[in-house]
Amino acid sequence: MTLPSHVAPDNGGGGGDGSVPLDSGLARLQELGYKQELKRDLSAISNFAFSFAIISILTGVTTLYNTGLNYGGPVSLVYGWLIAGAFTMFVALSMAEICSSYPTSGGLYYWSAKLAGPSWAPFASWITGWFNIAGQWAVTTSVDFSLAQLIQVIVLLSTGGKNGGGYEASKYVVIAIHGGILLLHGIINSLPISLLSFLGQLAAFWNILGVFVLMILIPTVATERASAKFVFTHFNADNGAGISSKPYIFLLGLLMAQYTLTGYDASAHMTEETKNADENGPKGIITAVAISIIVGFGYILGITFAVTNIPYLLSEDNDAGGYAIAQIFYMAFKKRYGHGFGGIMCLVIIAIAIFFCGMSSVTSNSRMTFAFSRDGAMPFSSLWHKVNKQDVPINAVWLSVVIAFCMALTSLGSMVAFQAMVSIATIGLYIAYALPIFFRVTLAAKYFVPGPFNLGRFGLVVGWVAVLWVLTISVLFSLPVSYPITIKTLNYTPVAVGCLLILVVSYWIISGRHWFKGPVTNLKH
């Protein structure tokens, strides 16, 4: 990395004239042509914490544990996690290498512009940015909606459960809870970054502590435990979805792991607020994914050892209304102590983790919106690019909150339509992850200049594996999940992602190509 002529290199101490050396991330930002507008206050740990809190094992695994149980059961849960985790690490390594070279809040779309070359830069930047931002909004929507659903289950179990006359909230009450959660997340994200940094670290700590408490507590309390043979070898092919092919069922079961292991681009979006971001941004991405894989594996094993009757856990007639993990927790404590209070408290631990996950997701959303509007890519860009006296992109925060609420309104019409929105969270984000990596291994293969963190001669191989994996899961999660295919059982993922693609490309052809020139520098020398 070469520093511009007006920047003194940071040799670890002050300059010979007593000057303070320039932060390496700030030096690189200025070299890329941007002035410092956000407050550079985050440490390496804080940067890692935001990504780790958004990946949030307790959020992803808990929310989609039903999917894993239904499609393959323990074999899909255990081995699917390791397979998806290994390939996700290839994606994370490639992203980290690019992040080290271009540490800006824009992240992925900025990388695409730089790596695609001058002629392709505007379009590459445009399509990556819109897939990234739409994917992030979908993540916030799905995370906060899953929290609203979990709160509804907690209330149901606290009032006697489904079989004991417990209170079942209507879809209107659930959407109201969702709106309340988003409102709180908007307020928290309006606070200065120093306070958000503390909350981000607290979120990471809570996720790790929560996983360890639950993975030990639940199998310990459970009076009936599964055998190691069941956990590591039992394959559940009885999915009631008309699918008998075991390989197909296993592949569908991968969705739980892949949905959970998303959102680590947050470390890239927080780079303009991170000290020495050209080193600490990449570290944040890699450590968040690596620790999540290890901790998540422990959580899955711990919970699965308490699984004894898969059909009952998935049945809508159980006390938790078919919410598998809630039923596992509730039953474990009820059978041992005669009441399920302890299980409900365990669900509260998860609810707090999901709350933190949604909070960090809004933080990441707002920084992406800030950067994308700084480059003029969004309608009313000047509005979303504004920062307040605390250097917080306040309008971008509230735009992210409002859009996440609007996306969740689809649940009132049809949960099938809502699931299509959620699918954008996984596929949309991963397409945005893969595009700059694809440009890195093709158009920029010969001229890419790595930053302090780089993969050396393995960069191209790792990049190609990452691109092929994203291509695989994009096809995989678009396949039918139930037969025969009807309006109610159709997998709307390709429809949702296809509509997003058509909208983004149409917007480009009709309007964007005339005025969007890719990332715009704002540093006046």
What mean pLDDT comes out for the span 24-49? 77
Quick one: pLDDT at residue 11? 36
What mean pLDDT comes out for the span 34-57? 80
Residue type, 64: L
Window from 220-224, 350-354, 386-390 with minimum mean pLDDT = 386-390
Quick one: pLDDT at residue 491? 78
Quick one: pLDDT at residue 183? 96
Inter-residue contact 272 to 40 (CB < 8 Å)? yes
* DSSP-based three-state secondary structure for 72: strand
Give the separation between CA 250 and CA 243, rounded to whole angstroms.
Answer: 11
Give the separation between CA 189 and CA 276, rounded to whole angstroms.
Answer: 23
Backbone angles phi and psi of 274, in degrees to 5: -110, 135
Backbone angles phi and psi of 167, in degrees to 5: -80, 120
- Unique residue bearing structure tokens 């417990």: 166
Window from 174-178, 238-242, 427-431, 452-456 with minimum mean pLDDT = 238-242
DSSP state of 490: -
Which two three-digit tokens encode residue 374?
A: 């700084």
Inter-residue contact 328 to 315 (CB < 8 Å)? no
- For residue 39, the Cα-to-chain-centroid distance in whole angstroms is 24
pLDDT per position as a tens digit, 437-488: 999 999 988 888 888 989 988 999 999 999 999 999 988 888 887 777 777 7
The band of 234, judged by pLDDT with boundaries at 50, 70 and 90, is very high
* DSSP-based three-state secondary structure for 52: helix
Which pTM does this prediction carry? 0.87
What mean pLDDT comes out for the span 292-307? 93
pLDDT per position as a tens digit, 59-108: 889 988 988 898 999 999 999 999 999 999 999 999 999 999 888 877 78
What mean pLDDT comes out for the span 47-62? 86
Q: Is the model's pLDDT at 501 over the cut of 70?
A: yes
The band of 13, judged by pLDDT with boundaries at 50, 70 and 90, is very low
User: HSE of 329 in the Cβ direction (CA atoms, 13 Å)?
Assistant: 27
- The β-bridge partners of 42 are 274
Give the separation between CA 351 and CA 64, rounded to whole angstroms.
Answer: 14
The band of 523, judged by pLDDT with boundaries at 50, 70 and 90, is low
What mean pLDDT comes out for the span 105-122? 86
Closest to 256 in 3D by CA, of 467, 462, 75, 488: 75
Q: Where are the domains of the chain?
A: 45-514
User: Can you say whether the dihedral through the CA atoms of 229, 230, 232, 235 is positive or negative?
Assistant: positive
| Continuous segment of H or E residues that includes residue 151 | helix 121-158
Q: Is the model's pLDDT at 203 over the cut of 60?
A: yes
How many CB atoms lie under 10 A from the CB of residue 333? 22
Inter-residue contact 144 to 365 (CB < 8 Å)? no
Residue type, 504: V
Give the separation between CA 282 and CA 484, rounded to whole angstroms.
Answer: 45
Backbone angles phi and psi of 178, in degrees to 5: -60, -45
How far is CA 27 from each of CA 5, 8, 272, 477, rounded to the nearest angstrom?
11, 9, 11, 41
Quick one: pLDDT at residue 288? 93
Inter-residue contact 169 to 19 (CB < 8 Å)? no
Quick one: pLDDT at residue 479? 82
CATH of 45-514, one of 2.60.40.420, 1.20.1740.10, 3.30.70.20, 2.70.98.40: 1.20.1740.10
Q: Can you list the alpha helix ranges (DSSP code H) found in 338-458? A: 341-374, 381-384, 394-408, 410-413, 415-423, 429-441
How many CB atoms lie under 10 A from the CB of residue 60? 26
- For residue 66, the Cα-to-chain-centroid distance in whole angstroms is 19
